[in-house]
Amino acid sequence: MKKIWKVLLITTACIALLLIALVGKIDRTPMEKTSHYAAWKAWIKSVNFETHTGAYQVGWSKVNITPAESVPMAGYGNRWGKHYEGIRDSSYVRVVAIRQPDKTTYLLSADMLIIPPNITNRLEKLLSERHISLQDVHLNATHTHHGQGGWGLKLAGRLFAGAYDEKVEIRLAEQFCQAIFQATDQLEDSKIYYSEVEDTDHIRNRLPIEDGLVDPWLRNLRFVRSDSSEAELVTYGAHPTVLNRKTLLLSRDYPGMLVDSIERKNGRFALFMSGAVGSMGAQSEGESDEAWAEGMASGLFADLIAARENEDVALSDSLISTYFEIPMPEQSARISKHFALRPWVFNTFFGRYPTFIKVTKIGKVLMLGMPADFSGEIMAELDQHALKQGLQLMLTSFNGGYVGYITPDRLYDRDLYETTTMSWNGYQAGGYFTEIAKDIIDKLAVK
């Protein structure tokens, strides 16, 4: 009997030690008292963003990135790495290049779930060979959940994007470069216009809460060249998850259908950038998923036509383009309201990457590229703050890094997928990113 008790005590002690090694209590130190908050405040106070002026030249390009053979699909973890079985519509990377006499910046959107950090790193090396800085590339993914995978390095990435294949990573980085170079070769004198229109019919708060907010604004940049050719950049916050996970077809979902409508009916080049898609779901009707997606695209296309009536005068010829790392706490994966896996465990399964924010300011339009599924719940507050400072805010997600979901602090202790499973950045991360965005807005205010 004593031997049994001894074995039980040793086993219990081992389990307890293992839990201590793997799991820790969530640190709830107020944001304002953390070292990363202090480091950010010191940095933003000292930095000066360089403004470039001069007439705009604009060029654009798209490159087909559809794989030559089937690869895993990216988007739904419960697909378990299945390969796509057919192609509903081809995937592209699209680029708009904006040049002034001493500066060129690139707006890039790919028909993918995210822009993975490993592809970003490879892209940076390729661009440097042509003396192009990654700081000048505003990366974005349309966030289709029916895009190509095969790019996830760590276990979590492989769960959402299937088995890793280095050839996929190499090919995509090279195709991104190709689109950037081609856009640079097509530059013409241009004017740039901004417009926005509210659409509450095609977006909903997808969280199971009663006090949810939405970001219903369709935001639009229009580029008009001296040869009368036009391009259109559109952002919207509804998650491109209209096509369900059982559809094993490569597809751009409703953003691709919207882009196709713009190009076919308006005769313009077009690209879609995912906005603040966190917490935001698509809303439409139809007899099938594909009909729902088509309904989304049709409704948003009608909005764009209406938006032209409210289009501003051409944006002033001032451009800011930079890309900087922000101080962050150690990341961890929550397992309950009060406990999370320790950072070393998180890094083992998810990887450890620097966290960047992309700033692109064109005239009075400020584009902030976030490394996350950034919640549309936060956008109303940021929109109002930007307007008070004389700016129009276009927030985009998936800027080449990825830190999970950024949601409002008021939801942190609610048992939700976004705030538990996908909340990796500690207590008050939503407040921290909100503060960062406001500080950037204040720094770039139009007086």
pLDDT tens digits for range 435-446: 999 999 999 997
pLDDT, average across residues 196-219: 94
H/E stretch holding 166 reads helix 166-184
Residue 156 scores a pLDDT above 80: no
Q: Which two tokens stand for residue 248?
A: 């094993």
Residue 447 scores a pLDDT above 60: no
Cα distances (angstroms) measured from residue 284 to each of 96, 287, 289, 294, 298? 30, 10, 9, 9, 10
- Residue 176: which of 221, 225, 125, 219 has the closest Cα? 125
**Cα(159)–Cα(250) distance, integer angstroms:** 18
Q: What is the pLDDT of residue 21?
A: 60
pLDDT, average across residues 209-238: 95
- Please tell me the pTM assigned to this model: 0.94
Q: pLDDT band at residue 80, thresholds of 50, 70 and 90?
A: confident
In order, the DSSP letters of 120-133 are HHHHHHHHHTTT--
Q: Which two tokens stand for residue 120?
A: 């970003």
pLDDT tens digits for range 330-349: 888 888 888 887 887 778 87
pLDDT, average across residues 299-306: 89
Q: Which two tokens stand for residue 397?
A: 């997600």
Q: What is the pLDDT of residue 31?
A: 93
Q: Are 141 and 115 in contact (CB under 8 A)?
A: yes
Best-predicted range by mean pLDDT (158-172, 369-383, 413-427): 369-383
pLDDT, average across residues 298-323: 86
Residue 14 scores a pLDDT above 90: no
Q: Pinpoint the alpha helices (H) of 282-419.
A: 289-307, 343-350, 379-388
Q: pLDDT band at residue 222, thresholds of 50, 70 and 90?
A: very high
Q: pLDDT band at residue 217, thresholds of 50, 70 and 90?
A: very high
Q: Pinpoint the alpha helices (H) of 244-342.
A: 253-265, 289-307
Residue 262 scores a pLDDT above 90: yes
Residue 44 scores a pLDDT above 80: yes
Share of the chain above pLDDT 70, in %: 94
Please state the φ and ψ torsions of residue 412, each to the nearest 5 degrees.
-60, -40
Q: What is the pLDDT of residue 11?
A: 59
Q: What 3-state class would DSSP assign to 226? A: coil
Q: What 3-state class would DSSP assign to 324? A: strand
Q: What is the pLDDT of residue 353?
A: 82
Q: Are 253 and 145 in contact (CB under 8 A)?
A: yes
- Other CB atoms within a 10 A radius of the CB of residue 446 amount to 14
Q: What is the pLDDT of residue 57?
A: 97
Lowest mean pLDDT among 201-205, 298-302, 349-353: 349-353
Residue 38 pairs with which residues in a beta bridge? none
Residue 60 scores a pLDDT above 90: yes
pLDDT, average across residues 277-290: 89
Cα dihedral 395→33→24→416 (10° resolution) = -30
pLDDT, average across residues 19-46: 88
Residue 196 pairs with which residues in a beta bridge? 219
pLDDT, average across residues 295-311: 85
Q: pLDDT band at residue 10, thresholds of 50, 70 and 90?
A: low
Q: In terms of pLDDT, which residue wins out, 8 or 329?
A: 329
Per the document, the length of the chain is 447
- Other CB atoms within a 10 A radius of the CB of residue 311 amount to 14
**Cα(327)–Cα(425) distance, integer angstroms:** 11
Q: What is the pLDDT of residue 18?
A: 56
Q: In terms of pLDDT, which residue wins out, 375 or 421?
A: 375
Helix 117-128 to helix 166-184 angle, to the nearest 10 degrees?
Answer: 50
pLDDT, average across residues 134-146: 96
Q: Are 345 and 307 in contact (CB under 8 A)?
A: no
Domain spans in the chain, listed from the N-terminal domain onward = 1-447
Q: pLDDT band at residue 410, thresholds of 50, 70 and 90?
A: very high
Q: Report CA 68 to chain centroid distance, whole Å.
A: 26
Task: For the chain, give the mean pLDDT.
Answer: 91
H/E stretch holding 358 reads strand 356-362
pLDDT, average across residues 82-100: 95
Give first-to-last CA distance, the chain, whole Å.
81
